[in-house]
Amino acid sequence: MAASTSRTSPGNHKVLLAALLGIAAAASFLPGSSACTSLVAQTCGRTSNQRLCVSLLESSNQSRSATTVRELAIIGLKAARRSALRARLHSCNALYLDCLRAAASALARVTYMPAYDNRVADAVSSLRVFPEKCQGLFDAQGIASPLEKVNRVTEEKLGIASEIVHLLR
């Protein structure tokens, strides 16, 4: 009596392999199903503020593929730096809004002053502090400002405008 052997066709292997790969791919997107989620949880569990740590690391998609604490440290530093950069850009935005208001006021004063007025000239000269302050927000922390050129050019233009106002004497 001959033993029967079960053979599957090569096409069935491909279907089975495709199904297994599909399941594996789907499982990798499930929360808590990957080793990297465990690595983030383990790493953050050893910090003084676990919730902030998880939030910081999860702000970057790269944390999903991290396999070492060193990679998470790099991801955390980059995310913290991005956060600091955003905060400074927000502050610079507020400074430039103040600058625009002050410039509008100075423009109105220059437009309607009957004769040269030192107070108006000083108001125009003081506009130069806004780009300096913006640049200072970055320089104080040793962060390269993405607005460095804008700050410099704006300061130079405001300086020229101030010089022209002083020529009205």
Whether the pLDDT of residue 62 is over 80: the answer is yes
Query: Is there a contact between 123 and 102 (Cβ–Cβ < 8 Å)?
Result: yes
State how far the Cα of 51 lies from the Cα of 41, in Å rounded to an integer.
10
Residue 136 identity: G
Chain segment 85-139, per-residue pLDDT in tens: 888 899 999 999 999 998 898 888 888 877 778 888 888 888 888 899 999 988 8
